[in-house]
Amino acid sequence: MKNAIEINALEKKYDNFKLGEINLEIPSGLIIGLIGENGAGKTTLIKSLLNIIKPSKGKIKIFNNDSEEMELDIKEDVGVVLDNMFFQEILTPHDINTIMKDIYKNWDTTLFNDYLSEFGINFNQPLKTMSKGMRKKVEIATSLAHKPKLLILDEPTSGLDPVVRNEVLEIFQKFVSDEEHTILFSTHITSDLEHIADKIIFIDKGQIVLNELRDEIIDNYGILKCSLDSFDKIDKKDIICYKKNKYDYEILIYDKNKMNKKYKDFIVDRITLEDLMILIIKGEK
CA separation, residue 222 to residues 4, 165, 253 (Å): 31, 27, 5
- Which whole-number Å values give the CA distances from 131 to 51, 111, 124, 158, in the listed order? 29, 22, 15, 12
pLDDT of 261 over the 80 cut = yes
Burial degree of 4 (CB within 10 A; 0-12, 13-18, 19+): buried
Predicted pLDDT of residue 225: 95
pLDDT at 116: 95
pLDDT band at 71 (very low <50, low <70, confident <90, very high): low
150-154 and 65-66: which strand pairing?
A: unpaired
Convert the pLDDT of each residue in 147-183 to its tens digit: 999 999 998 888 888 988 998 999 999 999 988 899 9
Residue (of 161, 124, 158, 128) closest to 140 by Cα position:
158
Confidence band, pLDDT 50/70/90 cuts, at residue 66: confident
Banded pLDDT at 184 (limits 50, 70, 90): very high
Q: Which residues contact 88 (CB under 8 A, 6 or more apart)?
A: 127
pLDDT tier at 206, thresholds 50, 70, 90:
very high
Q: What pLDDT does residue 220 have?
A: 96
For range 22-32, the mean pLDDT: 94
Q: What band does 285 get if pLDDT is binned at 50, 70 and 90?
A: confident
Q: What is the pLDDT of residues 214-248, one digit of tens each?
A: 999 999 999 999 999 999 999 999 999 999 999 99
Mean per-residue pLDDT, 96-105: 92
- State mean pLDDT over 259-270: 93
Question: Cβ(152)–Cβ(46) under 8 Å?
Answer: yes
Q: Report the predicted TM-score, pTM, of the whole model to 2 decimal places.
A: 0.90
